[in-house]
Structure 1
Amino acid sequence: MSHFTVAVFTKEGQTIEELLAPYQENNMGDCPKEYLAFNDVEEEYRKQFESDTRKEFYCNSNSSWGQEVGEDTFATLKEHSIGDAFNIAIKKSIGLSYFKKDYTYKCYYNKTNKYPEEHIWLKVTDILWTNHPDKDVCFEGMIRVKLIEEPKEISLKEYYNNDFELFIKEWAGYKEKDLETGKYGYWENPNAKWDWFQVGGRWSGLLKIKEKATSGVTGTRSWTNEAANIPEDKVDSAKVKDIDFSLDIKKYNDNLRFWELIVDGDTPRNSEEETIIKRNFNKPDYYSNRYENKEQFAKLSSEFGTYAVITPDGQWHSKGDMGWWGASSETDEEAKQWNKSFKETFIDNADPEWTLTVVDCHI
């Protein structure tokens, strides 16, 4: 997941919802159909069906190591051969391990924390006695088992009896063909940029309005800043003509000091500066590669700017493509050009009557 800012410029009669709609991900199935394209997966899965293999069956234990049993139980299993059927007692000492009727397990006993060297495969054919409310489940009691051979690697075609329809339903999870296309696949937005958004959100109060402004509204806060003290002259949406885009001198000076601490490596003067260093997760060259010098960093970081912009013509502009965990695709040079030209490109050329809304987008 990632959060990022989007500045949405709207003309009179437009809404931010209609401008954001063409870039909605279809993760909840509610993206408008006009923005979707069908992704046909049938050819891809047919190739897999023809060439790939799988195990005949798998261990039903939740652990990749298998099903742990006690030393006495494992010794009993080792006394028997493939095909033997017999009863074994299940004790509480096994821990959280349990057995279920008709399930298959690879069992092991382990004296160390290393992956067990020896496994014995069995199938539970019956639960003879159990203290569990579900009579097909045994945490403690008596079960009947049959020792079986270790599963072999077989082709997908063999496992699914050459039935592609069964394979794509059970293996790939496509229960039925798409009604509109008659094919297996899913609908997605090839231009998807976000899956949900809120006005303001983590960036509540990013816009400062002028003293005599006649517009300006706030959106909703994120849980991350719901207790923050946001001044009355800070809003999330206002007409361009009512927004004060002048340089924030305090923020400018703070950013100068930030550069000195992080990039120049100055010694912190107090606990607040020590906290700044601890909370910074970027290396010094992250900043030096994206800004020409300390003064440019301080200036551009103190001016209004967002990760992406939507203009009234519906076009999406951004420095890169946002991925998970805040990882964005832009190069240092692309980021540098975006930061340098943001004000000239989007603010200076904006119609004063347009409304600018800051949106917290998630992907």
Structure 2
Amino acid sequence: MSHFSVLVITDQQPDDDALAAILQPWHEYECTGVDDEYVVDVDVTDELVADHAKYGEGKPFDEFVEGWSSAEKRDDGRWYHHTNPNAKWDWWVVGGRWSGLLRLKCGEAPILGRPGVLGSRASDHPLASDQAMMQDIDIDALRNEAREEAVTLWDQVHQVTDGLPAIEEWAALRERVGNIEVARAAYWAQPAVAALKAQFPNSWSLDDEVDATRRTRDEFGQRAADASLNTFAVVKDGSWFERGKMGWWALVSDEKEEGAWTAEFRKLLDGLEPTAWLTVVDCHI
């Protein structure tokens, strides 16, 4: 349903068994089938009562629940779901769609996991790696490359949008117009948005391109440089940190503002010991 990137930070180089142990607290029991210490009985009675009131259509409560949920009724008369309440993934692989996200310094040997579907990777650079010690990663090269790509995009964007009316943000337009279909049509009909769509026909959302219209060239480039190693989540010292809660079809809820997450991420990286190991993992949920 959804893929997302996770950076696992360890003191020693982890093999697959070590990574499995590190990531295990967040497995989805319904898919992995592993009934371990992370899987518990969660009381979902109140949630089911609300569902019954909304969708029950006159059915007796117990009958509704049996057809609605996998929860089981216990001796105390309440309903429980046997699950891992902290579930984040149903399977994972080193690299995957983000294979090659790390960039090594010259002379270092890349360590690669598996590419994504149809061989998709984050980078095909000869020094691209999925695992490395912090001191062996060429952070400056990654940040400079991201900055150069961003300012090139900024130049292309401003070639077609300079002189056109500023783009009204979707949230503001949606609130002003009301009807979502009318708002959507109005958004894409804005002269600058239409110009960007013509210039970048393969960009589905135009998020980066629209963002470039709102920032200076230097600011846009710096933001890209700061985010060059960002992943959706980080696992370190037995804790999971993430930008938001990933759901099906890559829908994210409770998402941190991108700039705030980037600042946290950069502070974390810059504070790591040179001997810390970084492993990029593609998680699926």
TM-score by length of 2: 0.69
| Code of the aligned partner of 2:211 | Y
SS of structure 1 residue aligned to 2:245: coil
Cα distance in 2 for residues equivalent to 1:338 and 1:322: 15
Deviations 1:282-323 (CA, angstroms, capped at 9, x unpaired): 34686369x864323323424322121111x11212222222
| Code of the aligned partner of 2:112 | T
Q: Which runs of 5+ in 1 are unaligned?
A: 55-154, 158-163, 268-272
Deviations 1:155-184 (CA, angstroms, capped at 9, x unpaired): 424xxxxxx655544x336596579x9864
Q: Residue 52 and residue 220 in structure 1: after superposition, are their counterparts in 2 closer, same or farther (change >3 A)?
A: closer
- In structure 2, the residue matched to 1:316 is 240
- In structure 2, the residue matched to 1:3 is 3
| Code of the aligned partner of 1:234 | A
Cα distance in 1 for residues equivalent to 2:119 and 2:28: 26
Which residue among 201, 217, 223 is the counterpart of 2:96?
201
- In structure 1, the residue matched to 2:126 is 232
More strand by share: 1
Cα distance in 2 for residues equivalent to 1:193 and 1:240: 26
- In structure 2, the residue matched to 1:172 is 68
- In structure 1, the residue matched to 2:105 is 210
Cα distance in 1 for residues equivalent to 2:212 and 2:223: 13
- In structure 2, the residue matched to 1:359 is 281
Instruction: Give the superposition deviation at 1:25.
Output: 2.2
More helix by share: 2
Instruction: Give the superposition deviation at 1:2.
Output: 2.0
SS of structure 1 residue aligned to 2:41: strand
| Code of the aligned partner of 1:6 | V
Percent sequence identity over matched residues? 29
Deviations 1:77-132 (CA, angstroms, capped at 9, x unpaired): xxxxxxxxxxxxxxxxxxxxxxxxxxxxxxxxxxxxxxxxxxxxxxxxxxxxxxxx
SS of structure 2 residue aligned to 1:6: strand
Cα distance in 2 for residues equivalent to 1:280 and 1:49: 39
Instruction: Give the superposition deviation at 1:33.
Output: 2.6
Structure ranking higher on relative contact order (CA contacts 8 Å, 6+ apart): 2
- In structure 1, the residue matched to 2:171 is none
The answer to whether the 8 Å contact 1:50/1:156 transfers is no
The answer to whether the 8 Å contact 2:150/2:224 transfers is yes
Deviations 1:245-297 (CA, angstroms, capped at 9, x unpaired): 11344442221122344477449xxxxx96744324134686369x8643233
Instruction: Give the superposition deviation at 1:43.
Output: 5.3
SS of structure 1 residue aligned to 2:261: helix
Find the structure with the greater CA-based Rg: 1
Question: Once superposed, what is the RMSD of the aligned Cα atoms?
Answer: 3.7
Deviations 1:318-357 (CA, angstroms, capped at 9, x unpaired): 222222322323557x2112223422x2211112222100
| Code of the aligned partner of 1:353 | T
- In structure 2, the residue matched to 1:257 is 152
Q: Which runs of 5+ in 2 are unaligned?
A: 163-196
Q: Residue 28 and residue 216 in structure 1: after superposition, are their counterparts in 2 closer, same or farther (change >3 A)?
A: same
Which residue among 80, 88, 93 is the counterpart of 1:185?
80
Cα distance in 1 for residues equivalent to 2:51 and 2:284: 34
The answer to whether the 8 Å contact 2:10/2:278 transfers is yes
| Code of the aligned partner of 1:316 | W
Instruction: Give the superposition deviation at 1:191.
Output: 2.1
| Code of the aligned partner of 2:116 | S
SS of structure 2 residue aligned to 1:325: helix
Q: How many residue pairs were aligned?
A: 245
Indicate yes or no: 2:59 matched with 1:156: yes
SS of structure 1 residue aligned to 2:141: coil
Q: Residue 318 and residue 354 in structure 1: after superposition, are their counterparts in 2 closer, same or farther (change >3 A)?
A: same
The answer to whether the 8 Å contact 1:52/1:156 transfers is no
Cα distance in 2 for residues equivalent to 1:167 and 1:258: 54
The aligned runs of 1:267-346 (5 Å cut-off) are 276-283=200-207, 287=211, 293-302=216-225, 303-311=228-236, 313-329=237-253, 334-343=257-266, 345-346=267-268
SS of structure 1 residue aligned to 2:119: coil
TM-score by length of 1: 0.56
Instruction: Give the superposition deviation at 1:210.
Output: 1.5
Please, which moves more after superposition, 230-239 or 200-209?
230-239
